[in-house]
Amino acid sequence: MQIRGLMAGLATVVLGFGVYHVTPVVADDRPSVQPPADHPLDEIVSGYHFRIPETQAVQDDDFENPAFLWIEQAELLFEETDGEEGKACADCHDGVESLKSVGTTYPVYFEPFGKLINLEQRINNCRTENMKAEPWKYESDEMLGMTALVRHQARGEPVNVKIDGEAAPFFEKGKEFYYQRRGQLDLACAHCHEGYAGTKIRADMLSQGQSNGFPTYRLKWQKLGSLHRRFKGCNDQVRAEPFKRGSDEYVNLELYLAWRGQGLPVETPAVRQ
Amino acid sequence: MAGKVKPRVKVPKKAEKGEIIEIKTLISHKMESGQRKDKDGNTIPRQIINHFVCKYNGEVVFESDWHGAVSANPYIAFRTVATESGELEFIWTDDDGSEYSTTAKIEVS
């Protein structure tokens, strides 16, 4: 009986994806933010409100939140001299607090590259250009910690990315990626995160897939992880070939996704399941 | 996450006299078990924190010896009674002899 029920459930899900109708199940009584004009969502809800109370409690207490292990190490790194120029981050930046709102604005259009860059890439650009130091690997503890430390300075401030002007074409590419079906399962990001947030996908609760808490300590990973790692995971799960971390495709998507959460308070470092 | 050793404690800033207070401590430490081998097959020598003590105005209120199988970045929470205003001192002792310490102030009314 149970198995038959499960099969029926699966069939419904598959059919549901086939016709792709957007059901406004979302937020119920979850705290939300009003979206800007021409936004695909009726209300913007942080992933925090889709998690169980036990997970939320770990995020609520900075002492319990394991992500602070990385952030503390990054605080030490901020002061540490590295590279041929003999500089530390702190030599140019007057304390990490001076980077207060920076985390709300990335990714941004970066003139020297003629394209978007995200916070990780900005940090590495600082390292290679200003410090003449080796760039950090994308998913290294150093990079995750420093990104989290900088974005943590903006905690509580609303996400505020710029999508017009030079960023506009990249924003459009990101949007295209979001609605593009991919992989063996032939699913776009929107299929799960636009139509079905707040419902179950097997044993997990779907969220709107917001990025306001990244880098995030994910219990499944047992460590801090980047947004692009999560993108890869999502792409893998629909059995698509994932892109590389830091690829243009993912950075464009990062901008589009940030705009889908425009106005949400930054939660870095968040804790998720 | 193994990096530099950095202790962290959480102690209530204020408490009433006689109140039971919870103290949380965490120290970032790799806690190398002595069981692992490096890529050439050589045993990586054990290096763990083997002793932890908490002193309340100089008086030991919590003390423990640690052995193998304590995780990396060890976390300890315990309770004590707030008796008087002053300072709590926390000391972790490493296998190599070094001591990591931190302090926290408490105001008891």
- Dist CA A245 CA A243 (whole Å): 7
Q: Which pTM value belongs to this model?
A: 0.83
A161, A170 contact by CB (below 8 A): no
Residue A103 tokens, joined: 């985390």
Pick from B1, B24, B26: CB nearest A73: B1
Domain A67-152: CATH class, spelled out: mainly alpha
What sign does the dihedral A134-A140-A146-A151 (CA atoms) show? positive
Instruction: Determine the pLDDT at residue A37.
Output: 85
Strands B20-28 and B6-10: antiparallel
CATH number at residue B72: 2.60.40.10
**Residue B1 is assigned to a structural domain of this protein:** no
| Residue B81 near residue B19, CB atoms below 8 Å | yes
- Confidence check: pLDDT of A30 > 90: no
CA B92 to CA B7: how far, in whole Å?
9
CB of A222 within 8 Å of a chain B CB? The answer is no
Beta bridge partners of B7: B27
Distances (CA, A) of A38 to A42, A208, A263: 10, 17, 14
Structural domains of chain B, count: 1
Reply yes or no on whether the pLDDT at A20 is more than 60.
Answer: no
- Whether residue A4 has pLDDT greater than 70: no
Nearest-CB residue to B24 (from A63, A66, A73): A63
Sequence ranges of chain A with CATH classification 1.10.760.10: 28-34+41-63+166-272, 67-152
For range A133-158, the mean pLDDT: 94
Per-residue pLDDT reduced to its tens digit, A208-222: 999 999 999 999 999
Cβ-based contacts under 8 A for chains A and B: 25
Q: Which residues of A are catalytic?
A: 234
A229/chain B closest Cα distance in angstroms: 18
DSSP symbols for A28-78: TTS--B---TT-S-SSB--GGGGS-HHHHHHHH-TTT-THHHHHHHHHHHH
Among A23-27, A42-46, A89-93, whose mean pLDDT is lowest? A23-27
The predicted structure's pLDDT at residue A27? 52
Backbone φ and ψ for A204, nearest 5 degrees, come out as: -100, 150
Query: In this model, does residue A194 exceed pLDDT 50?
Result: yes
pLDDT-based confidence at residue A13 (cuts at 50, 70, 90): very low
Choosing among 1.10.760.10, 3.40.640.10, 3.40.50.2300, 3.30.470.20, the CATH entry for A28-34+41-63+166-272 is 1.10.760.10
Q: Do B3 and A223 touch (CB under 8 A)?
A: no
Question: How would residue A155 be classed by pLDDT, with cut points 50, 70 and 90?
Answer: very high
The alpha carbon of residue A89 is apart from the nearest alpha carbon of chain B, in Å, by 18
Q: Which residues of A touch B4 (CB under 8 A)?
A: 73, 76
In the DSSP assignment, the letter for residue A264 is P
Q: Is the pLDDT of residue A44 over 80?
A: yes
Contacts of A224 in chain B (CB under 8 A): 1
Segments forming the whole domain that contains residue B25: 6-34+43-108
Query: Is residue A25 over pLDDT 70?
Result: no
Q: How far is the alpha carbon of B5 from chain A, nearest alpha carbon, in Å?
A: 9
* A65 vs B: CB within 8 A: no
pLDDT at A173 over 60: yes
Rounded to a whole number of angstroms, the distance from the CA of A76 to the nearest CA of chain B is 9
Which pLDDT band, with edges at 50, 70 and 90, does A8 fall under? very low
Cα–Cα distance between A40 and A43 in angstroms, integer?
Answer: 9
Smallest CA-to-CA distance from B90 within B23, B16, B32 is with B23
pLDDT of residue B53: 96
Q: What pLDDT score was predicted for residue B108?
A: 92
Q: For residues A60 and A54, what is the distance between their CA atoms, to the nearest angstrom?
A: 10
The pLDDT assigned to A1 comes to 43
Which residue(s) pair with B47 in the sheet? Answer: B32
Average pLDDT, chain A: 88
Query: Does residue A242 register a pLDDT over 60?
Result: yes
A73 touches chain B (CB under 8 A): yes
Mean pLDDT, residues A236-260: 95
Chain-chain contact of A70 with B24 (C-beta, under 8 angstroms): no
| Contact check, Cβ <8 Å, A63/B6 | no
| Residues of chain B falling short of pLDDT 50 | none
User: Does any domain span residue B53?
Assistant: yes
Task: Identify which has the larger pLDDT, A37 or A102.
Answer: A102
pLDDT in tens, A82-128: 989 999 999 999 989 999 999 999 999 999 999 999 999 999 999 99
Q: Residues of B near A (CB-CB distance < 8 A)? A: 1, 3-4, 6, 8, 10, 24, 26, 28, 73
Q: Which residue has the tokens 């410090």?
A: A131
Confidence of residue A265 (pLDDT cuts 50, 70, 90): very high
What is the arrangement of strands in the sheet containing B99-108, beginning at the earlier edge strand?
B14-15, B99-108, B86-94, B49-56, B59-65
What residues form DSSP beta bridges with B34? none
B90 lies in a domain? yes
> Alpha-carbon Rg of chain B, whole angstroms?
16
ipTM: 0.75
Q: Using CB atoms, which residue from A73, A223, A224 is nearest to B3?
A: A73
Q: Residue A70: closest CA among chain B residues belongs to which residue?
A: B1
- Name the residue facing B73 among A69, A76, A141 (closest C-beta): A69
Chain B hits for A222, CB-CB cut-off 8 Å, are: none
CB contact under 8 A, B8 and A70: no
| Residue A202 predicted with pLDDT over 70 | yes
Token pair of A56, please?
Answer: 């939320």
Asked if A72 and B8 come within 8 Å (Cβ–Cβ), the reply is yes
- Proportion of chain A above pLDDT 90, given as a percent: 71
Contact B28 A68 (CB under 8 A): no
Residue B3 confidence (pLDDT): 64
Q: pLDDT at residue A272 above 90?
A: yes
What's the whole-number mean pLDDT along residues A143-161? 94
Distance, in Å, from the CA atom of B73 to the CA atom of B59, rounded to the nearest integer, reads 26
Nearest CA in chain B to A72: B6
Q: Is the pLDDT of residue A21 over 80?
A: no
